[in-house]
Amino acid sequence: MKLTFEDRAVRERNRPLRALAAGSVGNFIEWYEFGVYGYVATVVAERFFTPAGGSAAEGLVRTYASFGLAFFFRPLGAALFGRLADRLGRRPVLIAVVSLMTGATALIGVLPTYAQAGALAPWLLTFLRVVQGLSAGGEFGGAVAMLTEFAPPGRRGLYGAWQSFTVALGLLGGAGVAVGLSVLLTADQFGSWGWRLPFLLALPLGALALWLRIGLDETPEFREPAVRADVEPAGPAVRVPVRAVALAAARVMGWSAAGYTFLVVLPSYLQAALHTGFRAALLATVVANLGFAAAILPAGLLSDRVGRRPVMLAGAGLVVLLALPLLGLLQDPGAPAFVKGAALCGAGAVVGLMAGPGPAMLAEMFPARARCTGLGLAYALSNAVFSGCAGLIITEAVRRTGNLDVPGYYAAATCAVSVLALLGPPKTKAD
């Protein structure tokens, strides 16, 4: 049926909104799973990485090693899928990566444990984590390119912030499901089979993401004749500016490290280092993630008015100043619970100041013909080193040194590097 002028106008107005939903739901699935894996790390350690005679600390270290390995495949996924997205289009690549991500996450929910399959169990889990790492590497670049390229004029910061906002929603969703199951099920039930349910929930979410992405058009900026001429298969190869990738990775280093320290690794740290109960540790993380979620969209909107760098500088600088006092407060047995909760909420909000403008800043540092590859590589490299290894580094350092301030030093040091990178020469008009 031929569309009327009014129908076409409505469709044009709705395209950015559908792009917002299509880009966001894939990020939700990705970070929901990564959050779930971090929140149930102690259970996964017992079921997959602690054979007879192994200690709980050793099992947790192996669990985080598997967690970190997936992140090191993100740059490979960013390069592979980013290259395809820059040459073939954002839409087909985003359909492929969300399918891979959903399948790998659901399969974790049906894996045999160490008791059932022996040494094969951790290898199977690690393989699925690698598949997730590859798909996640392609997801970020394609999703951010889609969100920012569909954004109305002057709203790239706000639209890009939705990528980070759905990260927060995914982490909150994972925490909420984990907390809910821990309340509804006994400890034995949760450890026996209840931990599988959060991973299986990825299936209906993945079906929704596929439906949204299959019905989406290609982005207007990618369809520009000048861009198309650059990315035709017979045309010149897409060149990614290496200096821009290095600078972008340094700018988001603090966002990556502080985000994972306060929003994902925190439950295991509270349990292993401060001997906090499982439910209390998860609830503390929910509070931090609520602060994170609340700050992201306002930070993205603010960056459309004052620039990306000032907002991100405020977030990174506050982490440098407040990370160690926050850890001291959490370690103080005499501090009131509501004070600790407010501090955790504030810590999450500070990370949100970096996460809100971050996606738009990355997108604006690269031309359209190399955008997915460039921003995907920068983000993936930063996450591989400073997010994926956060749990392993913090857990092992605390275990070896007995210093409970390690998470604070880690977050502050990485954010200090980001402050220096953000103070460098501007690369975009939005800086």
Query: In whole numbers, what is the pLDDT of the chain averaged over residues?
Result: 82
More confident residue, 10 or 59: 59
Using an 8 Å Cβ cutoff, are 152 and 12 in contact? no
> What is the CA angle 146-289-26, rounded to 5?
25
What is the number of alpha carbons within 13 Å of residue 145 lying toward its C-beta? 35
Cα dihedral 132, 138, 140, 146 sign: negative
Write out pLDDT tens, residues 176-196. 887 788 788 887 888 888 889
Please check whether residue 261 is in contact with residue 347, taking contact to mean a CB–CB distance below 8 angstroms: no
**Measured CA angle at 181 (ends 177, 182), to 5 deg:** 115
In terms of pLDDT, which residue wins out, 377 or 45? 377
Given a cut of 90, whether residue 53 has pLDDT beyond it is no
Range with the lowest mean pLDDT among 221-235, 312-326, 393-407?
A: 221-235
From 345, 45, 36, select the one nearest 199 (Cα to Cα): 36
Provide the 10 A C-beta neighbour count for residue 28: 23
Q: Does 6 score more than 50 pLDDT? A: no
Mean pLDDT of 75-98: 92
How far apart are alpha carbons 75 and 73 in whole angstroms? Answer: 6
Can you give the length of the chain in residues? Answer: 431
The phi, psi pair for 320, rounded to 5°, reads -55, -40
Q: Are 309 and 296 in contact (CB under 8 A)?
A: no
Where exactly are the structural domains of the chain? Answer: 17-422
**HSE of 358, CA atoms in CB hemisphere, 13 A:** 33
Q: Which pLDDT value is given to residue 56? A: 57
The highest-level CATH class for domain 17-422 is mainly alpha
Question: What pLDDT, on the 0 to 100 scale, is given for residue 356?
Answer: 95
Backbone angles phi, psi at 410, to 5 degrees: -65, -50
Output phi, psi for 92, to 5 deg: -60, -35
In the predicted model, what is the mean pLDDT of residues 169-174?
83
Residue 11: predicted pLDDT: 47
Distance from C-alpha of 155 to C-alpha of 64, rounded to nearest angstrom: 37
Contact by Cβ (8 Å): 394, 409:
no
